Amino acid sequence: MRVVIPCETDEGLDAPRSGHFGHAPWLTVVDLDDQLDVTDVQSVKNADHDTMGCAGVIEHVMKLNADAIITAGMGMPPLMRFTGAGIAVYADREMPTAGHVLSRFLSGDVARMCPDDACRH
């Protein structure tokens, strides 16, 4: 399983998580094996929302072959595109770092994002 967490820095699991998917400068990409043990962590520069627009950021993340995205905030267009492509989107607004978010997700304490949770802009 591959999980993507929008972050503010390239510090992997120690990176402060970003408040919003599309404007996150970095993406922490975590690969998990069948037992949900971490096998790899990468920091990937996110596409620039101001240059590429929302669609460009969505396409960038789609190319990462994510199975799940855990975000503090996401607009309706990316939420619908990701879920339509079979990528599960989860919402966590409490945990301070990618590692904390991942731990909470792995313990089953992060709910899927529903359309009512999507940002309106």
62-87 pLDDT, tens digit per residue, is: 999 999 999 988 878 888 889 999 99
| Alpha carbon distance 11, 69 (integer Å) | 18
Report, as an integer, the average pLDDT of 44-55: 70
Would you say residue 45 has pLDDT above 80? yes
pLDDT given for residue 50 in this prediction: 53
> Is residue 121 in a domain?
no
Total-model pTM? 0.90
Residue 87 placed within a domain: yes
| Dihedral of alpha carbons 17, 23, 29, 30, sign | positive
Read off the pLDDT band of 2 (50, 70, 90): very high
Residue 82 placed within a domain: yes
Q: Which domain holds residue 15?
A: 2-116
What's the CATH number where 17 sits?
Answer: 3.30.420.130
Number of H helices, E strands in the chain: 3, 6
| Overall domain count for the chain | 1
